[in-house]
Amino acid sequence: MVLTDILKRYQVLRGRKAILCTGTDEHGMKIQQAAAKARVPPKEFCDITSETFLDLAGRVGLSNDHFIRTTDEAHKEAVQYFWSLLQARGYIYESKHEGWYCVSDETYYPESALEKRLDPFTGKTFMASQETGKEVEWSSEINYHFRLSALKDRLLEFYEANPEFVVPAARMRDVVSWVSAGLEDLSVSRPVERLTWGIRVPDDPSQTIYVWLDALVNYITAAGYPWAPGKQNAGGWPADVHVIGKDIVRFHCIYWPAFLLALDIAPPKQILAHAHWTLGHQKMAKSTGNVVNPLFAMDRFGVDVMRYYLAHDGGISNDSDYGNHLIVERYKKGLQGGLGNLVSRITRPKIWSIRKAVEAARDRTLRRTGASTKKQAQMLNGLSRLVNMKMEQLDPGAALQIIMDAVYETNKYLQLNSPWVLAKTEDIHRTQVVVDGVEDFQKRDLNQLRIERTVYHCSEAIRIVGILLQPYMPTKAAELLYMMGVDEDKRTFSYAQLDADHSYGKQPVFSAGKGAWESLFPPLPVED
C-alpha cells in the first residue's frame, strides 16, 4: 500500500493525473475455509476483513481512488462477461483435471514445481510449492480449462517487445524462463461441491470460476470494464504499473497477460514485484504468531515515520528484516538528527534571516564562490533529476536515500561554513562605485554576505527536500514547507530546483515561543 501510494503521489507531484486502485480479493477456497473455521457466513467474514483493510488504508494515508471488493456486483458481472468472451473465442474447454492443488495459493502446480518439506513444529513431511513453500494435495475433478499453452508464443513476443515489463530484472528473467520451458493449460473452475464461495460459471451453475481469474479481472473492473466502444482508456487502462508481492509473480506476469492477450486487451505496462518483510529473519506468518501489527506500529511511531521507514528499508529485490530498533535508528539518524537538525540550525538562530538570504539571492548579490558552495549548488541542481531517475525505475527506496544523502551533505556544508562563527566578526571591504559621474566608496561586510550565501543554500536544500519528500511523508513534508514559508502552489516538482522560488521565508518559523522544528521530529516516547 505504502509503496504504491508513494508512486501515485509522485506522479501527482509531477503534475500528472494518477489513479490508485486497491481492494480485497474475497473469493476462493481459502476464504471459504477461514469463514467456516470462524463459524460465520463467507460474506459476513469478508465484510469484517475488508473493513479492516479499508481502515488500514485510511490510517496509512493511502490516496486511493478506488477500493474494489471482488464481491461487488459490478465486478461479478465483469468477470462473467470476461469469461464468456474467452469461451466464445475458444480459449475455454471442459476436461478432467488431476494434479497437485494448493489451497493456500489457490492454484495447481506441476510436479516439477514441487518439493518435499519438513514441518519443524510437527516433524511431518509434506509436498509443497517450491515458489511459496505452501502445502499441496492431490486432487482430481472435472472442470474448465484455459488454453494457456496456446499463448506461449504471444507471451514470449510480448516479453521481448517489453523487456522491462517485470521489475526487478531478475524476476523478468524468471518469467521468461518459466514460459520458455512450456505452459500447461490452466484449470479455471472448481466444482461447486468443493467450492461454493465464488462467482458461478455463466450457463453452468455447477462450476465456480477460479479465484485467480476472478481476482485479476478486478484491475479492469475498476477501470470501467466492460468498456463502451472507444472508451477503453477513459478509466486509466492499461495501467502504468501493478505493484505486487514476489509470491504472486506467476499469476500477474503469466496468467494475467495471457488472459488479456487472448481478448486483444493491452496488458499493464509494468509490474513491480517487491520482496517481503521478515521478522527475526523468518517469514511472517499468522499461524506462528511471527507478525507485526501495523496499527500498533503507527500508534507508537506515527504514520509518516512508518511510511519513511517502510520506503527506506523495504526491499525490492531482496527481503528486508523488520525491527523496532531499526525504526528508532532511522528516525534518530535521518529524521531527527538529519533533517530535523538541519531545519533547527537554519530556522532557530536570530542572527540571520532566511527571508533576507532569499532576497539577497534573488537580487543576485550572492555569488557562488568557494569550493563548498559550488559543490552544494551542483548537488542541489542535480537532486531532482537523480530522484526522478530512480522513481522512473520504480525504486522509491533508492530515490529516498538520494534525498536523505542531500540532507546529510547539507549538514556537512553548514558545519564547514559555520555562519554562527562569521556572525561574531566583520570583514569590511571597500568597493569603488561611480554614481552620476561622482566616484565614491561603499563599505560592505563580506562576512554578512558569506552568512547569507550559506543560509540560502541550506534553505534551498530544505525547500527542495521538503518538496521531494511529499510522496513519502505527506503530513510532515507539508509542515516543513509551511515552516519555510513555501507557498502551496510552489510545492510541485518543477519547483524542486535551485533558484526556482525566491518568494519563501516569509512565514514565522516560531510560534508561541517554541520552535516549530521541535515538534517536527520530537524525541520518540520511551517504551515501557
Question: What is the model's pLDDT at position 255?
Answer: 98
The residue behind cell 525504526 is 327
List the single range of 134-143, 175-184, 211-220, 294-303 with lowest mean pLDDT. Answer: 134-143
Q: How far apart are CA 39 and CA 54, in angstroms?
A: 23
Q: Confidence class of residue 278 from pLDDT cuts 50, 70 and 90? A: very high
Q: What is the mean pLDDT of residues 69-74?
A: 96
User: In this model, does residue 508 exceed pLDDT 60?
Assistant: no
Q: What is the mean pLDDT of residues 489-517?
A: 78
Q: What is the topology classification, in CATH, of domain 2-274?
A: Rossmann fold (3.40.50)
Bigger pLDDT: 492 vs 350: 492
Q: Is the separation of the CB atoms in 249 and 171 below 8 Å?
A: yes
- In whole angstroms, what separates CA 370 from the centre of its chain? 39
Q: What is the mean pLDDT of residues 80-90?
A: 97
Question: What is the model's pLDDT at position 528?
Answer: 43
Give the pLDDT confidence of 38-50 residue by residue, as tens digits. 999 999 999 999 9
Cα R_g (the chain), whole angstroms: 29
- 138-167: buried (b, 16+ CB within 10 Å) or exposed (e) per residue? ebebebbbbbbeebbeebeebbeeeeebbb
Q: How far apart are CA 293 and CA 300, in angstroms?
A: 11
Question: What is the model's pLDDT at position 436?
Answer: 60
Residue of 271, 197, 186, 158 lying closest to 29 (CA atoms): 197
Q: Round the average pLDDT of the chain to a whole number and report it.
A: 91
Q: How far apart are CA 292 and CA 296, in angstroms?
A: 8
Q: What is the mean pLDDT of residues 342-360?
A: 92
Give the pLDDT confidence of 481-500 residue by residue, as tens digits. 999 999 999 999 999 999 99
Q: Confidence class of residue 83 from pLDDT cuts 50, 70 and 90? A: very high
Q: How far apart are CA 434 and CA 452, in angstroms?
A: 26
* Residues 6+ positions from 404 with CB-CB distance below 8 Å: 312, 334, 338, 339
User: Bridge partners of 94?
Assistant: 144
Separation in Å, CA 203 to CA 84, 90, 215, 425, 427: 9, 16, 20, 89, 90
Question: What is the model's pLDDT at position 6?
Answer: 98
User: In this model, does residue 267 exceed pLDDT 90?
Assistant: yes
Give the pLDDT confidence of 461-481 residue by residue, as tens digits. 999 999 999 999 999 999 999
Give the pLDDT confidence of 361-390 residue by residue, as tens digits. 887 656 777 899 999 999 999 999 999 999
CATH 1.10.730.10 is right for the domain spanning 303-425+441-520: yes
What one-character-per-residue DSSP string does 474-527 give? HHHHHHHHHHTT--GGG-SGGG-STTS--S---S-SEETTEEHHHHHSPPPPPP
Q: Confidence class of residue 429 from pLDDT cuts 50, 70 and 90? A: low
Q: Confidence class of residue 232 from pLDDT cuts 50, 70 and 90? A: confident
The beta-carbon contacts of 409-413 under 8 Å, at least 24 apart in sequence, are 409/376, 409/379, 410/342, 410/376, 410/457, 410/458, 410/461, 410/462, 411/338, 411/341, 411/342, 411/345, 413/372, 413/373, 413/375, 413/376, 413/454, 413/457, 413/458
Question: What is the model's pLDDT at position 307?
Answer: 98
Question: What is the model's pLDDT at position 96?
Answer: 81
Residue 380, amino acid:
L
Q: How far apart are CA 85 and CA 89, in angstroms?
A: 6
Question: What is the model's pLDDT at position 132?
Answer: 82
Helix (H) or strand (E) holding 180: helix 169-180
238 class by beta-carbon count within 10 Å (0-12 exposed, 13-18 middle, 19+ buried): middle
Q: How far apart are CA 320 and CA 307, in angstroms?
A: 15
- pTM of the entire structure? 0.88
- 306-344: buried (b, 16+ CB within 10 Å) or exposed (e) per residue? bbbbbbbbbebeeebebbeeebbebbeebbbebbbbbbb
User: In this model, does residue 513 exceed pLDDT 50?
Assistant: no
Helices (H) and strands (E) in the chain, counts: 21, 21
Q: How far apart are CA 113 and CA 6, in angstroms?
A: 35
Q: How far apart are CA 461 and CA 455, in angstroms?
A: 10
Residues 353/356/358/359 CA torsion (nearest 10 deg): 170
List the single range of 31-35, 252-256, 383-387, 514-518 with lowest mean pLDDT. Answer: 514-518
Q: Which three cell numbers stand for residue 427?
A: 570583514
Q: Which three cell numbers stand for residue 378?
A: 551542483
Domain boundaries, the chain: 2-274, 303-425+441-520
User: In this model, does residue 113 exceed pLDDT 90?
Assistant: no
Bigger pLDDT: 72 vs 349: 72
Residue of 25, 73, 30, 19 lying closest to 50 (CA atoms): 25
Give the pLDDT confidence of 15-36 residue by residue, as tens digits. 999 999 999 999 998 899 999 9
Question: What is the model's pLDDT at position 74?
Answer: 95
Q: Confidence class of residue 430 from pLDDT cuts 50, 70 and 90? A: low
Q: Which three cell numbers stand for residue 218?
A: 478486478
